[in-house]
Amino acid sequence: MSADRYLIKNKECIDAAILELLPEARSYPEVIHKAMHYSLMAGGKRLRPSLVIAAAEAVGGDRQSVMPFAVATELIHTYTLIHDDLPALDNDDLRRGKPTNHKVFGEAIAILAGDALLTQAFLLMTHSALMPSIPAECLLMASHEMAVAMGSGGVIGGQVVDLESEGKPVGPETLEYIHIYKTGFLFRACVRSGALLSQASKSHLAALTQFGAHIGLAFQIIDDILDIVGDEKVLGKDIGSDLSKDKATYPGLYGLGASREKAEDLVEKGIGCLESFDDRADPLREIARFFVQRTH
Amino acid sequence: MSADRYLIKNKECIDAAILELLPEARSYPEVIHKAMHYSLMAGGKRLRPSLVIAAAEAVGGDRQSVMPFAVATELIHTYTLIHDDLPALDNDDLRRGKPTNHKVFGEAIAILAGDALLTQAFLLMTHSALMPSIPAECLLMASHEMAVAMGSGGVIGGQVVDLESEGKPVGPETLEYIHIYKTGFLFRACVRSGALLSQASKSHLAALTQFGAHIGLAFQIIDDILDIVGDEKVLGKDIGSDLSKDKATYPGLYGLGASREKAEDLVEKGIGCLESFDDRADPLREIARFFVQRTH
C-alpha cells in the first residue's frame, strides 16, 4: 500500500478516535473544549499517530491496541502549534489555511487550550482501562518517553533556541540542534512509543530509534524547503514566513539542492535501519518516503 | 508535631529534592531552565507535595518512596501560577513578593517555562526508576489521576470559568465550581495520589478523597479572605487584587464572617473523614488545621 493510501486510511480511524477520546465540544466550560476541537480538527495528516501505529505494527502490535496513545501524540503536536503561534512567540495569524487559535478564541483561551491538550494527552497515555492489552510498565515507559521528548531538554529546548536565534547568524550546529529537538524529537518518540507499547525487542527498539531520528530531521529540512518553494494554497500558511522572521533554515545555510539531497539521504539511511524488519514495517518505510515526497 | 514544624521539615527535604530532580539552571538552553528555577524557588510552603507525603504516610507509605511524585505536584502548581500571571490572563506583576516570571523572562519564555514544568512533572511521575518500590500500575493510576485533575474538566476548567466570570454577577453555584475546580481539584488529587502510590485500601482511598475535597475548598475560601484582610508584606502580592479585578469570591458573596465559618466547618468535616485512621494520619489532620489558621 502506498504511503498516501496508508495515511488516508489511518487518518479516518484516527479522526474518529480523536472525537471519541476528547471531551465533547459542547461540554462545560464550552469555550475551552471548542478551542481544543478547533485546532485539532483543522486538518493535518496525522503523521505522528500514524508513526505510533506503524511502529507498533512493525513489531507485531496492532492499531486498535495503541490508538489512544497514538491520538495523544496528535494532541501534543496540536498543543505545540497553538503555543508556537501565540503573539509572544511566532505571532502567526494563519495555520493550515485557517485563523490560528488565539485569533479565534483570544490569547487567554489559546494558552489554556494548549495546556489542556497537553494534559489530555497525558490523561490518555496513562489511561490503562482504554488500552487493556498493554502492560502497565509499557504504558509507563512510553508516557515517560514522551515527557522526556517534549520537555526543556527536548522539543521545548529546541523552541527556545529557535526563538533566541531569530535575527542572529546561526551556524550548522545550532541549526541542527533546533531541527532535531524542535521537530525530530517528537517523531522519534512516536516511533519509540509504538515499539515500547508493543514490547519490541531491544535490537528492534534501537533500530527504530535510529529510523525515527533520521526521518524526523528529514521532515524538518523538507518543511524548510516547502516554506520557500511550496504552494501557499496547498501549504495553508504564509510562504516565506520563516524568511521574513529571519529564522535559521537548512536552505538558508546550504541552499535548496543540497538541502533536498540531505533530506533524501536521511530517509534512505532511516529505511536502511529497518533491514532486519519484515514486510510489516512497509508502512513505516512508505511514511519515510512520503516525508521527502510531500508537497505540503 | 505541629503543622508548622511538619511543613518546615518537609519543605527542606522537598526543596532539596526539587533541585535534584530538575535540570540544572545552567544546562542548555539556559534561559528556560533559569526561568523554571526562578518560579519554583521563589518561596512557597510546598503544601501540595506535603499532602502527597502525608497521605502516603497515613496509609503506611513513606516519604522517600513518593518524593519524586510529590515534587511533580509542586512543578504542576508552579506551572499554573506562571500561566495564570500572564498578561493575557490575570496580568499580575508580583507573586510571592517577587516580579512574576514573564516580568523577568518575557512572555514567550514564561509560556514555555510553564509548559516545561508541566511536562517535567509528567516526566517525574512516570519515572519508575526513581520510585522503584512503587508498582507500575500505581504510578500509572496516580499519574492518570493528576492528568484528570489538571485538565479541561478540572483545574483548567475552573480557570476558564473564573476568567469568563470577571466583571459579571456570579451565583453561589458558579463560585463553588470555580473554587472546587481551580484550586480544590489539585489538592484532592495530591491526597489521592499519595494514597494510590502507597496502595491504600478502597475505603481509605474513599475517605481521603472526601478529606481532600473538603480541605481544598477550605483553602480557597481562606485565600479569598486573606486577599481582603491579609498583610501585603507577608502575603507577597497586591492585597485586594481579586476585588480590583471584580473576581467572584466567597467573602464577596457571603461576607467575611460566614466565609471563615464555612472554611472552618469544611476542615472539621475533612478531619472527620479520617476517623478510621490511626495517628499516622496526624500530619494530614495538622495540615488541614493549618489551612484555616494560616495568615499567608
Residue with cell 512516570: B126
**In sequence order, which residues have a C-beta less than 8 Å from that of residue A33 and are 6 or more positions away?**
A22, A23, A24, A25, A26, A27, B152
pLDDT in tens, chain B (296 residues): 677 788 888 999 999 999 999 999 999 999 999 999 999 999 889 999 999 999 999 999 999 999 999 999 999 999 999 999 999 999 999 998 899 999 999 999 999 999 999 999 999 999 999 999 999 999 999 999 999 999 999 999 999 999 999 888 899 999 999 999 999 999 999 999 999 999 999 999 999 999 999 999 999 999 999 988 875 555 555 555 665 667 778 998 999 999 999 999 999 999 999 999 999 999 999 999 999 998 77
Residue of A nearest to B134 (CA): A137
Distance CA B141, CA B148 (A): 10
Contact flag A160-B31 (C-beta cutoff 8 Å): yes
Dihedral angle at the C-alpha atoms of B238, B242, B245, B246, nearest 10 degrees? -150
Write out the three cell numbers for B269. Answer: 468535616
Kindly list the residues from chain A whose CB atom is less than 8 angstroms away from the CB atom of residue B108: 86, 88-89, 163
Distance CA B148, CA B161 (A): 17
Name the DSSP letter for residue B277.
-
Residue with cell 535510529: A210
Q: What is the CA radius of gyration of chain B?
A: 18
> Quick check: A25 and A33 in contact, CB under 8 A?
yes
Write out the three cell numbers for A207. Answer: 533500530
Q: What is the CA radius of gyration of chain A?
A: 18
pLDDT digits (tens, 9 = 90+) for B179-196: 999 999 999 999 999 999
Amino acid at A56: A
Name the DSSP letter for residue B184.
I
**In sequence order, which residues have a C-beta less than 8 Å from that of residue A267 and are 6 or more positions away?**
A214, A215, A218, A288, A289, A291, A292
Instruction: Report the Cα–Cα distance between both ends of chain B, in Å, rounded.
Output: 20
Q: Where are the domains of chain B?
A: 3-293
The count of residues in chain A is 296
**In sequence order, which residues have a C-beta less than 8 Å from that of residue A17 and are 6 or more positions away?**
A67, A68, A70, A71
Kindly list the residues from chain A whose CB atom is less than 8 angstroms away from the CB atom of residue B115: 79, 83, 114-115, 118, 156
pLDDT digits (tens, 9 = 90+) for B134-158: 999 999 999 999 999 999 999 999 9
pLDDT digits (tens, 9 = 90+) for B15-48: 999 999 999 999 999 999 999 999 999 988 999 9
Q: Which helix (H) or strand (E) holds A94?
A: strand A94-95
> Quick check: A31 and A109 in contact, CB under 8 A?
yes
Kindly list the residues from chain A whose CB atom is less than 8 angstroms away from the CB atom of residue B128: 137, 140-141, 144
CA distance A218 to chain B (A): 23
The CATH fold of domain A3-293 = Farnesyl Diphosphate Synthase (1.10.600)
Q: What pLDDT, on the 0 to 100 scale, is given for residue A257?
A: 94
> Quick check: B127 and B66 in contact, CB under 8 A?
no
Kindly report the average pLDDT of chain B as a whole number.
93
Kindly list the residues from chain B whose CB atom is less than 8 angstroms away from the CB atom of residue A160: 29, 31-32, 109, 112
A vs B, Cβ pairs < 8 A, gives 153
Contact flag A128-B140 (C-beta cutoff 8 Å): yes
- ipTM here: 0.95
Mutate to test the interface with A, among B125, B150, B160 (most CBs of A within 10 A): B160
Q: What is the DSSP string of A23-83?
A: --TTSSSHHHHHHHHHHHTS----HHHHHHHHHHHHTT--HHHHHHHHHHHHHHHHHHHHH
Q: Which among B32, B122, B137 is the nearest to A136, CB-wise?
A: B137
Does residue A106 come out as left (phi exceeding 0), alpha (psi in the -120 to 50 range) or beta?
left
Strands A94-95 and B94-95, how do they pair? unpaired
Write out the three cell numbers for A135. Answer: 502492560
Distance CA B74, CA B89 (A): 21
